[in-house]
Structure 1
């Protein structure tokens, strides 16, 4: 089988001696070339129609048809095949006719000397260019076929959104707007966006034009009555100078996802209502028991009464933590930007451990539900005080390259064997522990789509590292 890099050349010339000579010179100069010869334009056309030819080399002066006549016939059926005129005659008329007929190049035959190197260089260059263009064309065709059947909208805009450079049929399925309309007015898709979301979408467009990748969710008023949810991702493409040259993106219908989220919210609300009711029903008799035990303890000194009071207190703690766990930390409320130093300091103050200390060595901006995150940090700090000592020294800071944040203590630490279980519900190493504190931490962190891990701190204590999403 021939190498795919081989090049088949058709050489047409009515001079048999030149056919033999030039063919031999070409093949001697390059082992990539194989030459098929024809002594007339008609015979050349027969060969072209029956064999795979990559390039045509033709003389101009031939008795039946000139090289230009041959070229015109070839261009009707082979518009992009490289065609070189190689003739001893050179004048402006021939050159002009050749260009008009679509000649690829024009080479004057020297009387003496070997021009094979020049011809080989031109043939190889033109054939490889044609092949690369064919690959690009085929690739583009396949890509268009792929995105043409996709249920997502793929698009490419100019940096200022004034020019639509590419879009597939998925746009019409999502926006209910024809491709012709958006091509005529590239920003007309904004007419379909819900009025309440216009500002958010246009802000994302401005940020993308400034070179920042964007992810935005918004509503679309489809067909005037049907409302759907869409999500668009945009990636600015820049040149070597850092200037934005195009905006590439994808838009998908996320209505089902939003509906599922809404159903989940409703279920969570029902669960919270149920657990709150149960907790209320439990606390009433628990308060009665606590009050009576305390009254009895005022009249009688008894270790059994002290034990009963401790048990009642632990039951109250269990109820509180079960309520928190029932809220499911995977469901996070509204997120806002807050400094890590601020939220961890507030969390420490809420724990009220007067004998301990906290040193914050660094800070970064976190996109979070600050109330839930503060709750998670409180549990980590409380865990350090309860499992270490009341005078624990805590340090909080930022991980390298701002990949996240950490809180560590100077206590006894957590052994490697126990680290895999530390976030399991019900797992505790403290006799009075509920086993829910760190499980709640894990839920809240996961709800932010972050990751948490426990390792050893600089002084051997426990170090909790929270790696935030990029």
Structure 2
């Protein structure tokens, strides 16, 4: 049966479980973490951690040597359900072999039990691991949201490599507007789309990336068949696959 450590002065909203078959040790670990501003649930049965995986866990801190299942077996069970959930092995039995196996199995961090300094390290590891986990989840969510907008937008959206002056991605609307297939448009030189203001377009793109700013311009885009489309272009830098590119949104101007 899990017990909850005394609430900290400031709630983080994090759900941290510490599991150790020794009730005194698990209570001590929970108390030490709680004194450092973390809220902790304790368990003496590793199965309770597995049962709680659907409850929105933020981090697992586990002992290694437990009778029901050891820390590495628990880690494997957790990784089967969530490959990224922070899992810290906090054990009194340390060896290079165990550490190596834990790292290979995907442990977030490995610490040996000890005095106050080790509890400080543990608290820092927990906080850092949860923040990284949260940031990755937010990034994935934003990526999914962007992809949904990208695929369904009424405006043409392009991702440009300004250094190589080519289009690296384009949404379906962009392909329709410029009368290219996706395979034809990706890899196309920007000069094919903006022949009249090609150099100016690239200069603006470099400036926006260097200054991390956004700008709206007017430009004439040309279709695959050479038809001119006067357009309003909104451009800004964006991180895409760990590189910085120029995101441009093309909206054809309404006839006056």
Please give the range of the TM-score, normalised by the shorter of the 2 chains.
0.7 to 0.9
Structure 1 residues 236 and 103, CA gap change in structure 2 (3 angstroms):
same
Distance 2:174 2:221 in 1: 15
The alpha-carbon distance between structure 1 residues 96 and 166, as it changes in their structure 2 partners (threshold 3 A), is: farther
Normalising to structure 1: TM-score of the pair? 0.45
Report the Cα offset of residue 127 of structure 1. 1.0
The separation in 1 between residues aligned to 2:23 and 2:84, in whole angstroms, is: 28
Q: Tell me the CA shift for residue 206 of structure 1.
A: 4.2
The 1:52/1:108 distance shift into structure 2, 3 A limit, reads same
Q: 1:210 to 1:56 in 2, by over 3 A?
A: closer
Match of 2:27 in 1: 20
SS of the residue aligned with 2:207?
coil
Aligned residues: 236
Q: Which is higher, the Rg of structure 1 or of structure 2?
A: 1
| Structure 2 residue 52 is matched with structure 1 residue 47 | yes
Q: By how many angstroms is 1:114 displaced?
A: 6.1
Contact 1:161 1:186 in 2 (8 A): no
Partner residue of 2:15? 8
Q: Distance in 2 between matches of 1:79 and 1:57?
A: 15
RMSD (Å) for aligned C-alpha atoms:
3.1
> C-alpha offsets along residues 10-48 of structure 1, whole Å, 9 cap, x if unaligned?
111111221122112221231xx2222222322321133
Of the candidates 99, 122, 127, which is equivalent to residue 125 of structure 2? 122
* Residues 206/19 of structure 1: CA separation in 2 closer, same or farther (3 Å cut): closer
2:75 match: 71
Query: Do the aligned residues in 1 keep the contact of 2:167 with 2:190 (CA within 8 Å)?
Result: no
23 and 4 in structure 1: CA distance in 2 versus 1, 3 angstrom threshold: closer
Conserved in 2, the CA contact under 8 Å of 1:8 and 1:52?
A: yes
1:146: which partner in 2? 149
Task: Tell me, yes or no, if structure 1 residue 202 matches structure 2 residue 223.
Answer: no
Q: Matches of 1:88 and 1:163 in 2, distance apart?
A: 56
- State the Cα deviation string for residues 388-445 of structure 1 (Å, max 9, x = none): xxxxxxxxxxxxxxxxxxxxxxxxxxxxxxxxxxxxxxxxxxxxxxxxxxxxxxxxxx
Alpha-carbon distance in structure 1 between the residues aligned to 2:103 and 2:148: 35
1:58: how far off?
Answer: 0.5
Name the counterpart of 1:247. Answer: 246
Unaligned runs of 5+ in 1: 239-244, 262-470
Structure 2 runs not aligned, ≥5 long: 1-7, 209-214, 239-243
C-alpha distance in structure 1 between counterparts of 2:74 and 2:152, whole Å: 43
Q: What is the TM-score when the length of structure 2 is the normalising length?
A: 0.77
